[in-house]
Structure 1
Amino acid sequence: MSDSVQTSRITSGMIMSLHLAEVSPGKAMSALRSGPVPAQHEGLHWASTFLMSPLRADSAMFDVKPSGAALLAAWDNDEALDRYLSHSSAAAYDNGFRARFEPVRTIGAWPGLLELPRREIPVDDHPVGVLTLARVRMNKMVPFVAAASHAERDAAHHPAFLEGTSLIKPPNQVATFSLWRSVKEMRQYTVGSYPGGHVRAMKRHEEQDFHHETIFVRLRPYAVDGHWSGRNPLDMLKPLTTN
């Protein structure tokens, strides 16, 4: 894959990986059914496959036709992830976008993701990824989709937003994964009064309790390769240098 970038890590704990393939709906459905199982891969804590859907920048409804497939996973270390990349189920993402992350902040909980850091690890002005993952109550799906549309719209138009996608795993798992220029600017979007879509969505959640389970994970990217929407959205990362 082209446009590979690697920078130094700041921790030695568990890592997470993102694998994206912008493929036809048929290939996306195939990838959804063929993700790795932790019991079959040494060093794999958790993995989940999703259908990709563009963030709703100008519409209140999800695109019913998936734009690709995604795999999110948590690993003991880089060596465990390296071993997985030679597995047949990893091949679906070979020509897409792949990134490795250090978890640096967690709010909420999710089965299989119990070792993520609760206390914030500072990352200075480094770009960050944000994963929000939820299991939505089926009787709250319609109001949840409506409330989340405002947050997605504001994210997609924010000047510090680098790239992002909605992630869907039927029947009721929903997620977003987004990349941001800095923590400070991401926080401005998340808790600031302007543009305010995310704050309004969180208020709706407090009022209506959309989710059975939810987790928010902030992630520091340290290695990326490939293309997302025709480019590498993290090309500002400084390559790793050795003496």
Structure 2
Amino acid sequence: MLLSAHIVQTGMGKALTAFRRPPDPGAVDGLRYARTYLTAELRKGMLPSLAITGVALIAAWDDDEYLDRFLYHRRARPYEDGWRVRMLPARSIGELPGLPDLPRRERPTGDLPVVAVTVGRVRANRFLRFVRAAGAAEREAAGHPGFVDGLTLLRPPLVIGTFSLWRNVRDMRQYVTGKYPGGHERAMKVDREHRLNHEMSFSRYVPYAAEGRWGASNPLDMLDCVNGSDSTTGPLSPMDTSNGV
């Protein structure tokens, strides 16, 4: 199984239309899971951004061939002018409703870039506490030297998450658990103490092909191990498990 993320920056009207019309796994061959999110910038100040920047689709597939076919499907049209990445699952904690089981035991990723997806359903009566706790974590992510790019994922009213790219798992882990800057670790402590979320999922993936534009560029162009739009070559493919990924 592989996963794909499709991210497009667009106006509110088009974003809402795509958000409300995700592809149906029952109607698209090889599609195991699909969920759409509105997107916003990661927080730079005390308050989260209220400006919707576009829409994102996260999907799970039997193999690359089915994903290739989907790119010509009408449900893929809203994402044609955006950016997409193909990913192999490497680790998960918690689960998302409807998503097939992801590996719980960590699969080594070495110096490969990683994608991290965190999604939670916030308790309504603890929303303000969540906003305060998550603020420093979001601000510090963008300033971390291992951070490549990222955005906020939203499913109104209470599902909030992040999608982020990291140069390697060591940098990502240092941000998540490191004492400095420490915003993410403090946010996790507050969540454990006050149970801010009904459900929480963290999953990590290894990207092996990326194409299109996120903003003005492909954020994975700078990483030698990602082979642009060719999903059949490059150092890591869905059929190559010899390195434990």
Same fold (TM over 0.5): yes
Match of 2:230 in 1: none
Counterparts of 1:237 and 1:47, CA distance in 2: 29
Counterparts of 1:48 and 1:216, CA distance in 2: 15
Identity %: 47
Q: For residue 74 of structure 1, give the secondary structure of its aligned residue in structure 2.
A: strand
Q: For residue 39 of structure 1, give the secondary structure of its aligned residue in structure 2.
A: coil
Alignment pair present for 1:82 and 2:72 = no
Counterparts of 2:224 and 2:150, CA distance in 1: 17
The 8 Å contact of residues 22 and 34 in structure 2, kept in 1 or not, is answered as yes
- Bigger CA drift: 77-86 or 148-157? 77-86
Residues 23-51 of structure 1 deviation map (CA, whole Å, 9 limit, x = unaligned): 11111111111111211112222111111
Match of 1:66 in 2: 52
- The one-letter code sitting in structure 2 at the alignment partner of 1:191 is T
CA distance 1:241–1:102, shift in 2 (3 Å) = closer
> Any stretches of 5+ residues in structure 2 without a counterpart?
228-232, 236-245
Counterparts of 1:122 and 1:109, CA distance in 2: 20
Post-superposition offset of 1:65: 2.0
Counterparts of 1:241 and 1:202, CA distance in 2: 36
Match of 1:53 in 2: 40
State TM-score, norm by structure 1. Answer: 0.90
The 8 Å contact of residues 32 and 100 in structure 2, kept in 1 or not, is answered as no
- Does 1 or 2 have the higher relative contact order (CA < 8 Å, sep 6+)? 1
Counterparts of 1:215 and 1:66, CA distance in 2: 23
Question: Where does structure 1 differ by over 6 angstroms across 4 or more consecutive aligned residues?
Answer: none
Match of 1:43 in 2: 30
Counterparts of 1:127 and 1:225, CA distance in 2: 15
State TM-score, norm by structure 2. Answer: 0.89
Counterparts of 2:188 and 2:110, CA distance in 1: 26
Counterparts of 1:241 and 1:26, CA distance in 2: 37
Trace 1:161-176 onto structure 2 (pairs within 5 A).
161-176=147-162
Aligned partner (choices 133, 138, 151) of residue 152 of structure 1: 138
- The one-letter code sitting in structure 2 at the alignment partner of 1:206 is R
Post-superposition offset of 1:241: 5.4
Q: For residue 40 of structure 1, give the secondary structure of its aligned residue in structure 2.
A: coil
- The one-letter code sitting in structure 2 at the alignment partner of 1:220 is V
Alignment pair present for 1:103 and 2:124 = no
Match of 1:23 in 2: 10
Counterparts of 1:241 and 1:92, CA distance in 2: 28
Counterparts of 2:21 and 2:35, CA distance in 1: 10
Alignment pair present for 1:219 and 2:219 = no
Provide the aligned C-alpha RMSD in A.
Answer: 1.4
- The one-letter code sitting in structure 2 at the alignment partner of 1:146 is R
Q: For residue 166 of structure 1, give the secondary structure of its aligned residue in structure 2.
A: strand
Q: For residue 187 of structure 2, give the secondary structure of its aligned residue in structure 1.
A: helix
> Any stretches of 5+ residues in structure 1 without a counterpart?
1-13
CA distance 1:241–1:176, shift in 2 (3 Å) = closer
The 8 Å contact of residues 32 and 60 in structure 2, kept in 1 or not, is answered as yes
Counterparts of 1:31 and 1:61, CA distance in 2: 26
